[in-house]
Amino acid sequence: MIELKNLKKKFNSNYVLNDISFKVEKGDIISIIGPSGCGKTTLLRCMNFLNTSDEGYLTFDDETYDMANINKKEINNIRKKTAFVFQNYNLFLNKTALENVIEGLIIARKIAKNEAIKIGEEMLEKVGMLERKDHYPSQLSGGQQQRVAIARALALNPEIIYFDEPTSALDPELIGEVLEVIKQLALEKRTMIIVSHEMRFVRSISTKVIFMEGGHIVEEGTPKDIFENPKEERTKEFLDSYRREL
């Protein structure tokens, strides 16, 4: 469904992503793990063109794009098939939960308002936020805001959802409710790429795990491969620091 080839990205003269390639098949749940600053968030952002890339090719549904020279229209075409969930939720602060979910449907996708509301309420129901549909972000906890953000992503009916550290900004007691929602999506076989530090979650949910460091992919494999028989010394060391959690 998606193939990323030789993605390179540098800030100033430092490569933060150096020759990243991997494939995503429909139904894949790919988790990207690695130490802070290894480039995993940048990778996700480059894939949705929130950051520019210096080199690389992205094939999406048999259509190949030159990531360094892509125009607005092509970016829009790709974004029509994707959704992005941010670490800091990034809900529209002047919109209620429901308005957040339907804004893109009405404004960008030109769906009729009552139809959009129907979809919006259905998605809020799914993440357990329907009874708070008229609350503003400032009236919601971080976990609730993130669930609304996930509903907003789902409403777009995307082919793939990118999760950028969806629980990293949350208080520990709020992490569970968000992970629960994502697990639900996994059961529905939704295609997702998840950047996360929640190792137990990653291990249980993923079809494939990618370990990154220093802008490279060090190792990739099934959760069993990575967590039980890591081939690379660096993967072992990294996972050792999470040993207690696992």
Partner 1 sequence: MNSRLWEIFLNSFSRILLPGLLVTIPLTLLAFFLAMVIAVIVAIIRFANIKILKDICRFYVWIIRGTPLLVQLFFAYYGLPILGITWKSPFICAVIVFALNEGAYASETIRGSLNSVPEGQIEAGYCVGMSYLQIMWRIVLPQALRAAFPSLMNGLIGMVKDTSLASNITVTEMFFNTRTIVTTTYEPLLLYTEVALIYLLFSTVLSKVQSIVEKKLNAQVGK
* Residue from 104, 142, 223, 230 in contact with partner 1 (CB under 8 A): 104
DSSP state of 90: -
Length of the chain, in residues: 246
Spatial separation of the C-alpha atoms in residues 2 and 43, rounded to whole Å:
14
Specify the residue, 47 or 239, whose C-beta has the smaller distance to partner 1.
47
Stretch of 34-42, 89-97, 123-131, 197-205 contacting partner 1, by CB under 8 A:
89-97
With contact defined as beta carbons under 8 Å apart, do 148 and 100 qualify?
yes
Among 34, 56, 120, 137, binds partner 1 (CB under 8 A): 137
Alpha-carbon gap, residue 23 to 110, rounded angstroms: 32
**Per-residue x/- marks for partner 1, 27-66, CB under 8 A?**
---------------------x-x----------------
- The least distance separating partner 1 from the CB of residue 5, rounded to whole angstroms, comes to 23
CB of 91 closer than 8 Å to CB of 139: no
- The only residue of 11, 37, 64, 107 in contact with partner 1, by rule CB under 8 A: 107
Quick one: which segment of 22-30, 34-42, 104-112, 228-236 binds partner 1 (CB under 8 A)? 104-112
Min. distance of Cβ 138 from partner 1 in angstroms? 5
Per CB under 8 A, the list member of 138, 172, 243, 244 interacting with partner 1 is 138
**Under the criterion CB under 8 A, does residue 91 sit at the interface with partner 1?**
yes
The dihedral sign for the CA sequence 179, 147, 101, 196? negative
**138: which DSSP letter?**
G
User: Position of tokens 């950051």?
Assistant: 51
Contact between 126 and partner 1 by CB under 8 A: the answer reads: no
Please tell me whether residue 82 binds partner 1 under the rule CB under 8 A.
Answer: yes
| Interface with partner 1 (CB under 8 A), residue from 17, 58, 83, 212 | 83
Where do contacts with partner 1 occur on this chain (CB under 8 A)?
48, 50, 76, 79-80, 82-84, 86, 88-96, 103-104, 107-109, 135-139, 149, 152, 156
